[in-house]
Each structure stands twice: as structure tokens, then as C-alpha cells.
Amino acid sequence: MTRKGEVLAKIEKTPMTVTVKKTKEDIALTCTMEGYHEANAINSSGWEAGSGAAGIALDVILTLGISSAIDSATGADNKYQDQVNITLVPLTASEVEAVTVE
């Protein structure tokens, strides 16, 4: 589990819960397990509900938009998916044989 090249966590066993700091950057997930193809997924950093136009309009009225600008710059108004499921596909017999020959 990485973000901008920095390792955030290494999952040794599943299921496992990892808490990460919200940012504007996506999280890349790479799963490897002997006998299976590597699987990859992206947990995209999206805009959190409640951070929409009405919230920004209210913020502009109350704080001249300062808190929205700070939240946007730090990623505090972003949200990751709560759960990511990745399916590992088993290697075929010929793929297993090719790996053991190398």
C-alpha cells in the first residue's frame, strides 16, 4: 500500500484494517501471493460528501472561504473508499511450471 511512492502499510494477513491520513493523493495497492498473479488496485482520493457547493458557499459567507481553501490544500475534504476488495487469480499449471523452471 503506497501513496506517492511512500509505503503506508504492508498487509501480512487478510482481512486487515489500516487507517491512513486523508490527502488529495490516490493510494496504490499491490497484492502478491505465491501461486497467484500479482493484482493491483487504486483507492482514489475523492471529494467527501458535504464538501459540495452548498458547504463551500456557506464557508465563503462565514470565513471568506479560508477554511475551504485550507481543507482543499491539505486533502481534509477528501475521502477514500472504506473497503477495497482485490481478487487474486491463481496461476495455471503451466505458469507455475514456468516459474519453477526460472
The string of DSSP codes covering 44-77 is --EEPTT-SHHHHHHHHHHHTTHHHHHHHHHTTT
Asked whether the predicted pLDDT for residue 102 surpasses 70, the reply is: no
Asked whether the predicted pLDDT for residue 8 surpasses 70, the reply is: yes
Q: Domain segments of the chain: what residues?
A: 2-93
Crossing angle between the packed helical segments 66-74 and 53-63, to the nearest 10 degrees: 130
Residue appearing with cell numbers 494477513: 13
Comparing C-alpha atoms, which of 39, 48, 46 is closest to residue 1?
Answer: 39
Q: What is the pLDDT of residue 68?
A: 45
pTM of full prediction above 0.75:
no
Percent of the chain with pLDDT over 90: 29
pLDDT (average), residues 53-70: 49
Give residue 17's pLDDT band: very low, low, confident or very high (50, 70, 90).
Answer: confident
Q: What is the pLDDT of residue 77?
A: 64
Residue 16: phi and psi, rounded to 5, are -150, 145
Asked whether the predicted pLDDT for residue 57 surpasses 60, the reply is: no
Asked whether the predicted pLDDT for residue 56 surpasses 60, the reply is: no
Q: What is the pLDDT of residue 69?
A: 46
